[in-house]
Amino acid sequence: DVKVTQSSRYLVKRTGEKVFLECVQDMDHENMFWYRQDPGLGLRLIYFSYDVKMKEKGDIPEGYSVSREKKERFSLILESASTNQTSMYLCASSLGQGSGGYTFGSGTRLTVV
């Protein structure tokens, strides 16, 4: 089974801090994604990457950046955390066109105080 691992399950950070959320997948998938999930809004795509060093903006990229230096690792960066970035962050990966399904990590619940 594909495993997508997110480095932290729970994280508390202060406003203005730089925050790194890490995601690693172990099945050589080309595509990786970062979503945030908020009540009533569902999962919203922040950024995605279809290859090493490639990135594409999703629907809500403002306030975030990403890094994909290695195929297995996709990092989400909050340059200066704000309270409205308190959310559940989910990483996912998929192979090729994605018909085989997207596998999600278990999520990181980030609280910005």
Q: What is the dihedral of CA 6, 41, 68, 61, to 10 degrees?
A: -140
Report the residue number, 92 or 112, with the smaller CB distance to other proteins: 92
The least distance separating other proteins from the CB of residue 4, rounded to whole angstroms, comes to: 8
The footprint of other proteins (CB under 8 A) covers: 30-31, 33, 35, 40-45, 48, 50-51, 54, 56, 58-59, 90, 92, 94, 97-99, 101-107
Report the residue number, 42 or 83, with the smaller CB distance to other proteins: 42
